[in-house]
């Protein structure tokens, strides 16, 4: 829970990115495209930083990483509030993203070394859903603080980054509580400190990035799909409040199942569900179609993560592959808004987005396959191998 608190409190500005874009547009009087570029810079910094720190995590002191990164997040959130121009904003958000990526990669690397990684990642992803609900209630009020600031002359975004600053300060309370794993064991004195990672593990991470890219091609426009049905923004918000409840329960269930059963069948079923729900959502024309498939499509990748991260942790006990996953997921999600918008404008509706999503899911599943199957073999070795070992008198 300490690891989860550290990750969520340091990553809150990334979870609430749609609110940030709205606040930046109102504060600096710029276009949505320009504000979106600020978001892209921040997410790109998260991706690059998490990729770097996921590989360095076994060699670094986690608590030093947490303390340093959280200090940077506090200072950059304060600098964002004081930023006089968008150019300064690019710098402050890039630094904040890099610091958040360091925390997330370190947390995920340590979580990947737990004895039951599926359960650990299930709890973490479930708490992401809870954090999303908290931010959805808190941040709309923070956007209005500038109206009550009086002589302080606050801007709309200032309230948001005050919240994120407070969360980063609160995260520091959990540094001493966070577990520190033992050093990665070395087989012999002249052996390398850490063995090379399997190439199929990196291909699985690439597959995850493609999956999230394909999913986001439709997911980022899900509000527009609801408005076209047509539904009001208030009704869409209520629908996704119930969807968030699924996003809390599904990872816990996936974590529980992942420690008891092989991952291949659940992963296949979840990917098929994403395809079916996505195609139904892309062609939704009535409110009930949106009610039934919209929230589940939006939250289904959260149910996938405990299985896939557990598989990565089993083929790589050092946790480096699991720690690197935010980089691939973030880059995939960051590339989707521009690509999805171009597909939508070219085709005239969201059906084309749905079919491109299907293609991305198929490609991502193919890249994930060997890691998932290898993980299942590691947790359930073939009976013939066990019998051979017993016959030879070797310990199992």
Neighbours of 300 (CB within 10 A): 21
CA-to-CA dists, residue 118 to 55, 58, 114, 311, 321, angstroms = 21, 20, 9, 8, 14
CA angle in degrees (0–180, nearest 5) for 342-15-360: 40
Count of residues making up the chain: 396
Q: Is residue 335 part of a domain?
A: yes
Q: Is residue 347 part of a domain?
A: yes
Q: Is residue 319 part of a domain?
A: yes
| Average pLDDT value over all residues in the chain | 82
pLDDT at 211: 94
pLDDT at 198: 82
Query: Using CA atoms in the order 373, 379, 381, 386, what is the torsion angle rounded to 10 degrees?
Result: 170
Last residue of a domain, one of 120, 151, 178: 178
Do 173 and 205 lie in one domain? The reply is: no
Overall average pLDDT of the 291-306 stretch: 86
Answer whether 4's CB lies under 8 Å from 124's CB: yes
Is the pLDDT assigned to residue 15 strictly greater than 60?
yes
pLDDT at 381: 53
Q: Is residue 187 part of a domain?
A: no
301: which residues sit within 8 A by CB, 6+ positions away?
211, 212, 215, 274
Q: Is residue 189 part of a domain?
A: no
Neighbours of 378 (CB within 10 A): 12
Does residue 317 sit in helix, strand or coil? coil
CA-to-CA dists, residue 355 to 204, 283, 362, angstroms = 22, 11, 11
Is the pLDDT assigned to residue 80 strictly greater than 90?
yes
Do 227 and 327 lie in one domain? The reply is: yes
Is the pLDDT assigned to residue 70 strictly greater than 60?
yes
Is the pLDDT assigned to residue 37 strictly greater than 90?
no
pLDDT at 356: 94
Q: Which of 27, 239, 43, 63 is nearest to 154 (CA)?
A: 27
Q: Look at 110-119, 167-176, 284-293 and tell me which has the smallest mean pLDDT.
A: 110-119
Is the pLDDT assigned to residue 318 strictly greater than 50?
yes
Phi/psi for 60 (5° steps) reads -105, 160
pLDDT at 183: 63
Overall average pLDDT of the 327-333 stretch: 81
Answer whether 312's CB lies under 8 Å from 322's CB: yes
Does residue 85 sit in helix, strand or coil? coil
Q: Is residue 396 part of a domain?
A: no
Do 289 and 248 lie in one domain? The reply is: yes
> CA 188 to CA 198: how far, in whole Å?
21
Tokens of residue 49, six digits: 């930083």
Do 115 and 255 lie in one domain? The reply is: no
Query: Percent of the chain scored above 70 by pLDDT?
Result: 89
Q: Is residue 183 part of a domain?
A: no
Tokens of residue 13, six digits: 């500005």
Highest mean pLDDT among 53-67, 92-106, 233-247: 92-106
Do 319 and 247 lie in one domain? The reply is: yes
Do 61 and 204 lie in one domain? The reply is: no
pLDDT at 184: 58
Higher pLDDT, 382 or 169: 169
Do 167 and 202 lie in one domain? The reply is: no
Higher pLDDT, 337 or 28: 28
Do 128 and 162 lie in one domain? The reply is: yes
Highest mean pLDDT among 93-107, 137-151, 182-196, 208-222: 93-107
pLDDT digits (tens, 9 = 90+) for 355-379: 999 999 999 999 999 999 998 888 7
> CA 188 to CA 332: how far, in whole Å?
39
> CA 130 to CA 241: how far, in whole Å?
11
pLDDT at 19: 76
> CA 346 to CA 50: how far, in whole Å?
34
Q: Is residue 185 part of a domain?
A: no
Query: What CATH number is attached to the domain comprising 317?
Result: 1.20.1250.20
pLDDT digits (tens, 9 = 90+) for 207-264: 999 999 999 888 877 777 887 888 876 677 677 777 777 778 888 888 788 777 888 8
pLDDT at 192: 47
pLDDT at 88: 92
Do 219 and 173 lie in one domain? The reply is: no
pLDDT at 190: 47
Do 208 and 120 lie in one domain? The reply is: no
Q: Look at 55-59, 167-171, 332-336, 387-391 and tell me which has the smallest mean pLDDT.
A: 387-391
Overall average pLDDT of the 76-103 stretch: 92
pLDDT at 375: 87
Q: How confident is the model at residue 188 (pLDDT cuts 50, 70, 90)?
A: very low
Count of structural domains within the chain: 2
pLDDT at 191: 45
Do 206 and 149 lie in one domain? The reply is: no
Host domain of residue 218: 197-380
CA-atom Rg of the chain in angstroms: 22
Is the pLDDT assigned to residue 18 strictly greater than 50?
yes
Overall average pLDDT of the 79-108 stretch: 91
Residue 390 CB-density burial (10 A; 0-12 exposed, 13-18 middle, 19+ buried): exposed
Tokens of residue 33, six digits: 């495209």
Do 169 and 206 lie in one domain? The reply is: no
Answer whether 66's CB lies under 8 Å from 3's CB: no
Higher pLDDT, 272 or 201: 272
Distance of CA 27 to the CA centre of its chain: 27
pLDDT at 142: 84
179: which residues sit within 8 A by CB, 6+ positions away?
2, 3, 110
Residue 82 CB-density burial (10 A; 0-12 exposed, 13-18 middle, 19+ buried): exposed
Highest mean pLDDT among 51-55, 154-158, 265-269, 329-333: 265-269
Q: How confident is the model at residue 129 (pLDDT cuts 50, 70, 90)?
A: confident
């Amino acid at each position: 829970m300490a690891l989860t608190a550290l990750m969520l409190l340091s990553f809150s500005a990334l979870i609430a990115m749609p609110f940030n874009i709205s606040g930046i547009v109102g504060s600096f009087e710029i276009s949505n495209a320009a504000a979106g570029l600020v978001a892209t810079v921040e997410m790109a910094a998260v991706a690059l930083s998490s990729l770097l720190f996921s590989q360095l995590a076994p060699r670094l002191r986690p608590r030093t990483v947490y303390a340093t990164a959280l200090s940077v997040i506090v200072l950059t959130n304060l600098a964002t509030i004081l930023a006089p121009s968008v150019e300064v904003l690019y710098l402050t958000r890039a630094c904040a993203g890099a610091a958040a990526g360091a925390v997330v990669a370190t947390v995920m690397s340590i979580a990947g070394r737990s004895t039951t990684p599926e359960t650990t990642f299930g709890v973490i992803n479930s708490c992401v859903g809870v954090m999303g609900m908290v931010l959805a209630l808190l941040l709309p009020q923070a956007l209005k603080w500038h109206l009550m600031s009086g002589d302080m002359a606050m801007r709309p975004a200032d309230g948001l980054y005050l919240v994120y600053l407070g969360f980063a300060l609160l995260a520091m309370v959990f540094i001493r509580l966070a577990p520190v794993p033992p050093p990665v064991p070395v087989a012999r004195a002249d052996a390398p400190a850490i063995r090379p990672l399997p190439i199929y593990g990196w291909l699985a991470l690439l597959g995850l990035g493609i999956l999230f890219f394909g999913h986001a091609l439709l997911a980022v426009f899900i509000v527009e799909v609801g408005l076209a049905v047509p539904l009001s923004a208030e009704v869409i918000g209520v629908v996704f409040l119930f969807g968030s409840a699924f996003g809390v329960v599904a990872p816990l269930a996936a974590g529980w199942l992942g420690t008891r059963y092989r991952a291949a069948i659940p992963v296949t079923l979840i990917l098929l569900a994403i395809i079916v729900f996505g195609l139904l959502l892309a062609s939704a024309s009535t409110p009930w179609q949106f009610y039934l498939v919209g929230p589940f499509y939006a939250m289904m990748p959260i149910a996938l993560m405990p299985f896939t991260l557990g598989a990565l942790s089993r083929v790589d006990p050092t946790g480096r592959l699991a720690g690197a996953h935010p980089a691939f997921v973030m880059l995939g999600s960051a590339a989707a808004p521009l690509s999805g918008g171009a597909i939508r404008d070219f085709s005239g509706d969201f059906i084309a987005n749905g079919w491109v999503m299907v293609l991305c899911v198929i490609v991502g599943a193919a890249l994930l396959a060997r890691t998932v199957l290898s993980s299942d073999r590691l947790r359930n070795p073939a009976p013939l191998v066990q019998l051979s070992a017993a016959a030879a008198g070797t310990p199992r």
